[in-house]
């Protein structure tokens, strides 16, 4: 994989302060993004998906209906998949915080999700937490989901170059290695579609705009659709 310009992570202090506070008013969206999409009628049984992670799933700075889980649900329904995605994203969550609330979150899902989408680790990296700690927590999350028979789409993150090559060598392999070990579908770098594209990022240079979310959904919807367990016809 070629090195990815990770300009948005130069604003790591901004991310950490923003993620631990209530979301600020959403940036002005384009007319297309501001219009509510029509309800898409879909036949067939509902496919329940859990989106579990941090502010990148919670929809920081976005209007209702613009978060990644909400837009992904619409994209899946447009493909004829009767998706119902529960958004369990919490701004500011580290892998440790995610692991701490995982059992409660799973216990509140009725029925049990058929698939989990996991986006955690970015805040660990931005706080320069030890990669070994991130790995341990993520592995515990994946192991817990496997115990419940819930397949996973793991949304990967890359270390900011300003943290140095040693940190990157320890952090970057976490996602592909754990995805392989636990048979998870890997999105190598969740923010790849919006990096170095200012029109797709909010003013904090960290969180995607509504249009940026749509670009990420377009890049990942196939991974999610393919990860759903196949049902007998």
Under 8 Å between Cβ of 127 and 13: no
pLDDT score recorded for residue 39 = 62
Q: Which of 48, 128, 204, 223 is catalytic?
A: 204
pLDDT score recorded for residue 27 = 45
C-alpha 218: how far from its chain's center?
Answer: 14
Rounded-to-integer distance, Cα 87 and Cα 137, Å:
20
Rounded-to-integer distance, Cα 16 and Cα 97, Å:
14
Q: Which of 12, 54, 93, 207 is catalytic?
A: 207
* Domains defined along the chain, listed by start: 43-227 (3.40.50.1110)
What is the residue-level pLDDT of the chain in tens, covering all 233 positions?
Answer: 444 444 445 444 344 434 444 444 444 444 444 455 566 677 789 999 999 999 999 999 999 999 999 999 999 999 999 999 999 999 999 999 999 999 999 999 999 999 999 999 999 999 999 999 999 999 999 999 999 999 999 999 999 999 999 999 999 999 999 999 999 999 999 999 999 899 999 888 789 999 999 999 999 999 999 999 987 44
pLDDT score recorded for residue 203 = 87
pTM exceeds cut of 0.95:
no
Rounded-to-integer distance, Cα 161 and Cα 126, Å:
11
- Clarify whether 108 is annotated catalytic: no
- Clarify whether 204 is annotated catalytic: yes
Q: Which of 55, 67, 91, 119 is catalytic?
A: 55
Nearest to residue 228, comparing CAs of 18, 89, 95, 44?
A: 44
- Clarify whether 30 is annotated catalytic: no
Under 8 Å between Cβ of 189 and 158: yes
């Amino acid at each position: 994989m070629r090195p990815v310009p990770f300009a948005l992570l130069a604003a790591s202090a901004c991310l950490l302060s923003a993620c631990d506070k209530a979301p600020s008013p959403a940036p002005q969206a384009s007319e297309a993004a501001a219009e509510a999409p029509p309800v898409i009628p879909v036949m067939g049984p509902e496919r329940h998906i859990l989106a579990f992670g941090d502010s990148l799933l919670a929809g920081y700075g976005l209007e209702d209906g613009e978060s990644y889980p909400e837009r992904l649900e619409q994209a899946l329904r447009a493909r004829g998949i009767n998706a119902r995605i529960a958004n369990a994203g919490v701004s500011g969550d580290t892998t440790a915080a995610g692991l701490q609330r995982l059992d409660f979150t799973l216990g509140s899902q009725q029925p049990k999700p058929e698939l989990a989408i996991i986006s955690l680790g970015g805040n660990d990296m931005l706080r320069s937490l030890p990669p070994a700690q991130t790995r341990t927590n993520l592995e515990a999350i994946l192991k817990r989901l496997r115990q419940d028979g819930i397949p996973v789409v793991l949304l990967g993150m890359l270390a900011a170059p300003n943290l140095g090559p040693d940190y990157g060598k320890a952090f970057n392999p976490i996602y592909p290695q754990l995805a392989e070990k636990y048979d998870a579908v890997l999105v190598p770098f969740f923010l790849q579609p919006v990096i170095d594209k200012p029109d797709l990022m909010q003013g904090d240079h960290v969180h995607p705009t509504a249009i940026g979310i749509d670009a990420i959904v377009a890049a990942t919807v196939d991974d999610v659709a393919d990860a759903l367990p196949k049902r007998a016809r």
